[in-house]
Structure 1
Amino acid sequence: MISFAITVQRPTLLIQAEGVLDTGITTLTGSSGSGKSTIIKSLAGLVRPTTGCIIRNDEVWVDTTKNIFLAPQQRFVGYMPQGNIVFPHMSVYHNITYSKRGDEALLSHIMNRLGLGKYKDIKAGTLSGGEQQRVALGRALYAKPVILLLDEPLSALDWNLREQVRRDLVDIIGEWQIPCLWVTHDKNEADEVGQQRWHCEAGQLYTE
C-alpha cells in the first residue's frame, strides 16, 4: 500500500493530491495540463514535491519536513512515461532487461504476453511506435516493481492491439497483486480497467 499527501508548486498551477494506492488498478483521468503527469512523476521520484509525504507500507519515500527524498532507483517503481521511450541503439532484449531485476522465465512471459518474441534481437529504434511502446511496457514489468505507474500506456497502439495489451496488462497486474496507477484520457478505458477511479482537474485530485 502506498499513501501520499503532497503539493507541487508549478509556475502557473498548484497541484494538491492525496490518496491511497492498494493492490489493483487505480485510473487517473483529467484534461491536459491538469496535473496528472506531475502526480505520477512525484510517485516515481522524478518530481520532488513542494510539501508533503509519500509512504509505502512502513517505508518513507518522501517527507519534506524531514528532508527525506528517495531516488527513483530506491523505490523499485515500474514507470512507463508518455511517448515511446526506448534505447534505440539497443536490442529489444537489452531494453527490456535493462533493470537486471528479472530472470529468463519472467522475460519469456513478458515477451509472449506483449507479442515481442520475434523482435528479441532487433534494435528497438527500428520498430514502429506501437511496438516501441510495448517494449517500454515490458521494461517496466521486468523491473519487478512494487508499484506500476503507467502514463497513457495504450495511446500509441492501434485499436486491435490496444484491446489485447489492455487485457494482458490487467491480467498481469492481477497476477502480481501490486498497486497500479494508470493515467488515461479515455473515459471508457478508465471504466473498463479501474477498480478505483480518480480525476484530476486544475491541480486538484478527486475520487470518483
Structure 2
Amino acid sequence: MNFKVYRDDWGIPHLRAEGADGLAHAQGWNAAVDRAWQIEVERNRFQGTSASFLGASAAGWDRFARQARLDDTARRCYEALDDATAAWVRHYVAGVNAGMAEGARRAPQFAEVGLEPRPWEPWVPLGIWLGTHVLFAGFPTKIWREEVARALGDAAVELFSAEGADGSGSNGWLVGAGGTAHGAPLIAGDPHRPVEDPGVYQQIRLACDEFDVVG
C-alpha cells in the first residue's frame, strides 16, 4: 500500500492515501509505530493473556476477559461484517503488522518484560475495542441487576437503579457545515473516560480522495 505520512510541529500524524483501504493500512501502520506497546497490551488483555508478562496482578482481568468471551465475541463480530467492511479491517490489520516490529524497537517495555509481539488476526481491532469499552457499556449494569434480582428478587431491581427512564449513555453532538465558521461540519462526543497515559485516543488527520478529516 502506498501512503504518505507527515508530522506537524506537535508530532500529530497526517496520513494521506489514494483510497479508504490504503488509508486504513496507513492508520494501522501509524498505530503500531507510535503505540506498539499500548495496542499489544490491549490485544493481550482482551484475549486474557496479559498476566503472562504483566504478572499476577493482571490475572483477575484475564479471568474476566475469558469468562466474558471477548475473543470469541470479536471473532463472531468480524465474521458478521459485510465484505467491504471486513476488507477495510484487514487492511488496517495489515498496516499494524507492517509497523509492529519498528514500533516494538521504539518501546523499551517489550524488552523489559520479554514480550514478543505476534502478528494480528483480522478480528483483533474489534477485540481491542470490546476490551477497552466493555466496562463503559451496559455490561456492568446488567451483571449488577442480575445479582440484585438473584439476591433480593426482581422487584428490588428498580430500587437500586441509578438510571432514568431512558437509561444512560455518552453524549454527542453534530454541527452541520452551515453552522460553523469554517464551513465544514463538526462531530463530537464525551466518552467519560478516565485519565490514562497514554490515552486510548490519538489526534490524527486522515485524508484520501474520498474524504479529509481530523480528530
Q: TM-score, normalised by structure 1?
A: 0.32
Structure with the largest fraction of strand: 1
Higher RCO, 1 or 2 (CA under 8 Å, sep at least 6)? 1
Q: TM-score, normalised by structure 2?
A: 0.31
